[in-house]
Structure 1
Amino acid sequence: MTVSDPLVSVVIPVYNSMPYLTETLQSVLAQDLERFEVIVVDDGSTDGSGEELDRFAEAEDRLVVIHQPNSGWPGAPRNRGLERARGEFVFFMDSDDTIAPHALSAMTAMARERGADVVIPRMKGVAGRGVQSLFERYPQGEIGLARAMETLSPQKLFRREPLERDGLRFPEEKVRLEDGIFVTRAYVLARTIVFCGREPLYFIALRDDGRNISSSSIDPENYVASCRRIAQILLDGVEDPERGARLVWQLFTRKGLRFYAPKRWLRMGVERKRRWVALHRAFLEDLVPVELVERASNPTDRRKAELILAGDVSGLDRLISAEEDLDHRSGVGAVARMANGVELTVSVQPQDPRRGSLIDDGVPPAWRLRAADRLHRLLRPAMGAHLGRGLSRRLADAVSTGSPRVSLLLSGRRSARRIAVPGRIAARDAAGALRYRFVLPDDLLQRFHGDRVDLSTVAEVRGLSGAPVRVALDPSAASAVAISEGVELYATGRGNASLRVAR
């Protein structure tokens, strides 16, 4: 029978979604939650999706089907579904995805327990679809706005009352990131946002017909205009202006700099590159304080943003073309306790040793490496102090002038905090890899208290730098090694090095 008082309204926009639609509906109707309704809006499908919806509706009173002429974009059908929703919560789902049988019950239970207005389900990609690292690494529980902003897709559970109180709806015109505009506003309004699921609850698919909207061509003006709308929501909705500006910079590093990755940038023609640079230059000048660019922890992000601000397309070409030549592998070689901190030794070598690599350019002769390392060891007792570390770094740089630089990026899983630590080149090991030493003071590590911290390396040569690479740690070693007071080094399931910092 029809659900008279649904706890959740599941809203699904549909446009030419066969044969995926059948499994989507089956997964929703198999939920173990007792009180829910499903509102499906057929946006003018021509492939039999409408008929399939009617077939399900004949046998299932919980399913409401709305047929309408094609609107051209998902915003309008989502809004029509939201207008019909009666549940305390509304969950937006796409018509080619599936959910675990306990997904709705798990999310609503967590929302009620934590008083949350938005619940983010743990996602998993299927059929080759990738998902953000957030969905693999973030622990179940409350999530801050900075981390939540890493996922702007609509597949989330929202408490309906705040949406109605604010009159929140999806943009209905054909704009990119229309879901991100809606979700960002919901985040800013939310009292609490939680991340739900120790195992995946939502399975997001890559369609084999290539008809995911995210795979279609992107108009730069349209896309950047939407980024501006999202940025303004953050600046207007976050009380602390400095925090709001940091969130906008974070937005740019994900949604703006994605177009400066080699796989995108190197395929563009000159005019398209100039369009992106002009639009992003204006975005940065209008919305991001220059000091945030200058303080960026990732040196490659910083260099790209600086070149965008300078309008230097040829400089971007050089920097981005060099990323492949700076690709590398890195792994923890040794850990040493020192006064007021710890020292990690990390080996770095080209990803493919058979081809030439910029990482091997400018390596000083062995005697200079030995001298730099000896100097570092002599100064190690003074490195518990900031001045001691600075002196060691300057002297080491003088001895190893021209050598490849490597930074260690520490990235908190909960906090979104990122800190870069410069390395000191030490020597080559027996396998030909370069060894770098990184000093991690206790006070730096305690900035991540109560968090898990992932380790990555970034290689730099002659003003060029590459993408971050996760540092490996042999998983056959001990499950966790105490390296400092309240700090453990451990190997993840994928054999990467991470830190666990006690509260």
Structure 2
Amino acid sequence: MSASGTTGTPDVTVVLSARGPEPRLTRSLDSLAGQTLGLDRIEVLLVGDGPAGDSLVADSLVGWGLVGDGPAGDGPAGDEALRDACAAEQLERFSASRPATVGAAVARARGRYLLFLRSGDFLGREALTRLVDAADIHGSDVVHAKTAGATGALFARTGHRVPHDAPGLPWELSGTKLFRREPVERHGLRFADEIPAALAAQAFTLEALFRARGISVLADYDYCFASRASNTDTDTDTDTDTDPAPGIEDLLRGTAAAMAVTARFTEPGRLRDGFHHRHFARELDPLTGPALLEVAEPVRRRVFAGLRRLVTDHLSDAVLTGLPPGLRLRLSYVRAGDLPGLVSVVRYEAGHGVPPLRTDLVSAGWRRTGPARHTLVLTARSPLPGLGALDEAPVRLTGIRPGADRIVLRPAPDGCGTEIEVRIPADAFPPGRTRFGLRTALLGTEHQATVPAGAPPRRAHGLRGLRPYRLHVAADGTRGLVVAVAPLGRRQQPRSAPAT
């Protein structure tokens, strides 16, 4: 039934979560009761948590004024009597509007439009009027409503017939929008009941967007005020758990479902990459973060297998390039199938506050490899585990002709990280000064080895043909090395004495 009990078709069905403390639900209900659209044009469906949810609904509806009128209370005792007298009647009359899941609520809805709210969120007084008018006037199947405090790119201005590649659109995937119910029913759009509603909203919203004949964005009013308990990110709609550790597998399932919708409705290219970038940056960041350390090993292995499928199916080079370096690094271990390596990287980042994107030069010196022949041997250390398994050439030299060096990667002696050994024949360095560096590159994440400040120069003598040369290697004063090769025996001519 509609909130007012009328039998006409309501304009909007509001699906409201009844989870959380009673004051939060009351705040949401109060905002619906005060809508300028009018209660006779609103249907409210509450999704609760079983018996506890029934009690919460009863407590909240007493005094809300939507259904039932009881005797006036007289102090605390009268208030309690009013609650006892009305609770049973309200639950009985409201039970027809208490679906068990959001998916069931969508199937039961009668309004021309759908709007989803979480307990504690509340609407501006004119919100539903403005949303319905915009959808009716412009024929929009989906209307994005600005949340108070939102600074996302999508809400820079009001617009209609908004394209799918509009800046910021992939970052606004919560259900706090107006959806035209006719295409929802025609295409059978539902929230997946096996995924928490806040996560299932992404796949639902994406399919509604891709099927929409028109999309509007309203940025001229604060339509929704999100409770702090459900929104910690004011820049975008909050449509995932900010702390995924208790439901890390739910987060993975919800993300996989959303990305599958995008892949189904788009071709490879910029549009698909824009939506996939949002999921890799927002959801795969926590999925490859400390939450992995907090779950049991069997769960960790299942999540890692799911992550590999997402990376294999959806991670393009264009998406990868736009991700933060630390996330690119973690995804490189996912792509390589190295779960222990990923865990090691996550632990390092949790302990140091930064990803292990560093390589330290331990030593550089000349090693005799034959009569008067020398090889420059560099030893470096990286906290990255299993470095040799991540890429065909994860370590390279700059400033040296290709193929002149031999690089050996092995586990560090203490089992933490990778030891890097580079050997360069002295003949690879021409006479004069050669500046070069040691770099580690992984999937677009590149950094140069750090040379210890004040590292002493290393000298040796060798032959080039039959001529002796002096070999000299030292820090170049920045983050690299310089090798100087000069012939021995060259003496400076004495200056002539001035004529007197």
Corresponding residue number in structure 2 for 1:205: 227
Corresponding residue number in structure 1 for 2:118: 94
Q: Is the Cα contact below 8 Å between 2:24 and 2:120 reproduced in 1?
A: yes
Counterparts of residues 439-458 of structure 1 (less than 5 Å): none
Q: Which amino acid aligns with 2:110?
A: A
Count of aligned pairs between the two proteins:
338
Corresponding residue number in structure 1 for 2:57: 49
Q: 2:336 aligns with which of 303, 307, 310?
A: 310
SS of residue paired to 1:158: strand
Corresponding residue number in structure 2 for 1:251: 279
Counterparts of residues 350-499 of structure 1 (less than 5 Å): 401=437
CA distance in 1 between counterparts of 2:98 and 2:223 reads 30
- Structure 1 residues 181 and 294: CA distance shift in structure 2, 3 A: closer
Q: Which amino acid aligns with 1:281?
A: R
SS of residue paired to 1:23: helix
Q: How much has 1:254 moved relative to structure 2? A: 2.3
SS of residue paired to 1:227: helix
Deviations 1:21-73 (A, max 9, x none): 2221111121223573132335442434235336532269xx99641698764
Q: Is the Cα contact below 8 Å between 1:73 and 1:174 reproduced in 2?
A: no
Q: How much has 1:310 moved relative to structure 2? A: 1.0
Q: How much has 1:182 moved relative to structure 2? A: 1.6
Counterparts of residues 10-29 of structure 1 (less than 5 Å): 10-15=14-19, 17-29=21-33
Scaled by the length of structure 1, the TM-score of the pair is: 0.54
Corresponding residue number in structure 1 for 2:409: none
Q: Is the Cα contact below 8 Å between 1:361 and 1:404 reproduced in 2?
A: no
Q: Which amino acid aligns with 2:23?
A: P
SS of residue paired to 2:22: coil
CA distance in 1 between counterparts of 2:272 and 2:185 reads 28
- Structure 1 residues 32 and 138: CA distance shift in structure 2, 3 A: same
Counterparts of residues 258-337 of structure 1 (less than 5 Å): 258-262=286-290, 264-268=291-295, 270-285=297-312, 287-288=313-314, 291-292=317-318, 295-323=321-349
Q: Is the Cα contact below 8 Å between 2:311 and 2:335 reproduced in 1?
A: yes
Q: How much has 1:106 moved relative to structure 2? A: 2.8
Q: How much has 1:15 moved relative to structure 2? A: 4.4
CA distance in 2 between counterparts of 1:68 and 1:314 reads 51
Greater Rg by CA: 2
Deviations 1:249-305 (A, max 9, x none): 54233222322234x3454455543332222112222x2255446544533332222
Give 5+ residue unaligned stretches, structure 1. 126-130, 329-356, 363-393, 406-419, 425-460, 463-503
Q: Is the Cα contact below 8 Å between 2:36 and 2:125 reproduced in 1?
A: yes
- Structure 1 residues 136 and 195: CA distance shift in structure 2, 3 A: closer
Corresponding residue number in structure 2 for 1:242: 269
Q: How much has 1:197 moved relative to structure 2? A: 2.6
CA distance in 2 between counterparts of 1:253 and 1:216 reads 15
- Structure 1 residues 10 and 73: CA distance shift in structure 2, 3 A: closer
- Structure 1 residues 18 and 148: CA distance shift in structure 2, 3 A: same
Q: Is the Cα contact below 8 Å between 2:145 and 2:177 reproduced in 1?
A: yes
Q: Is the Cα contact below 8 Å between 1:293 and 1:302 reproduced in 2?
A: no
Q: How much has 1:245 moved relative to structure 2? A: 4.6
Q: 1:118 aligns with which of 102, 124, 142?
A: 142
- Structure 1 residues 7 and 423: CA distance shift in structure 2, 3 A: farther
Scaled by the length of structure 2, the TM-score of the pair is: 0.54
Give 5+ residue unaligned stretches, structure 2. 70-89, 231-238, 362-397, 400-433, 449-478, 481-500
CA distance in 2 between counterparts of 1:115 and 1:421 reads 46
Q: How much has 1:18 moved relative to structure 2? A: 1.0
- Structure 1 residues 93 and 101: CA distance shift in structure 2, 3 A: same
Corresponding residue number in structure 2 for 1:84: 109
Q: How much has 1:166 moved relative to structure 2? A: 1.5
SS of residue paired to 1:307: helix
- Structure 1 residues 14 and 282: CA distance shift in structure 2, 3 A: same
SS of residue paired to 1:123: coil
Corresponding residue number in structure 2 for 1:487: none
CA distance in 2 between counterparts of 1:116 and 1:197 reads 15
CA distance in 2 between counterparts of 1:276 and 1:59 reads 49
CA distance in 1 between counterparts of 2:23 and 2:268 reads 48
- Structure 1 residues 423 and 358: CA distance shift in structure 2, 3 A: closer
CA distance in 1 between counterparts of 2:268 and 2:220 reads 34
Q: How much has 1:189 moved relative to structure 2? A: 0.9
Q: Which amino acid aligns with 1:28?
A: L
Q: Is the Cα contact below 8 Å between 2:47 and 2:100 reproduced in 1?
A: no
Q: How much has 1:138 moved relative to structure 2? A: 4.6
- Structure 1 residues 308 and 28: CA distance shift in structure 2, 3 A: same
CA RMSD across the alignment: 4.7
Corresponding residue number in structure 1 for 2:41: 36
Q: How much has 1:174 moved relative to structure 2? A: 5.1
- Structure 1 residues 314 and 86: CA distance shift in structure 2, 3 A: closer
Q: Is the Cα contact below 8 Å between 2:46 and 2:97 reproduced in 1?
A: no
Aligned: 1:155 with 2:182: no
Q: How much has 1:186 moved relative to structure 2? A: 0.8
- Structure 1 residues 220 and 11: CA distance shift in structure 2, 3 A: closer
Deviations 1:288-340 (A, max 9, x none): 25544654453333222221011223432444345468869xxxxxxxxxxxx
CA distance in 2 between counterparts of 1:270 and 1:197 reads 46
Q: Which amino acid aligns with 2:144?
A: I
- Structure 1 residues 172 and 423: CA distance shift in structure 2, 3 A: closer
Q: Is the Cα contact below 8 Å between 1:75 and 1:171 reproduced in 2?
A: yes
Q: Is the Cα contact below 8 Å between 1:22 and 1:52 reproduced in 2?
A: yes
Give aligned-pair identity as a percent: 22
CA distance in 2 between counterparts of 1:266 and 1:183 reads 31
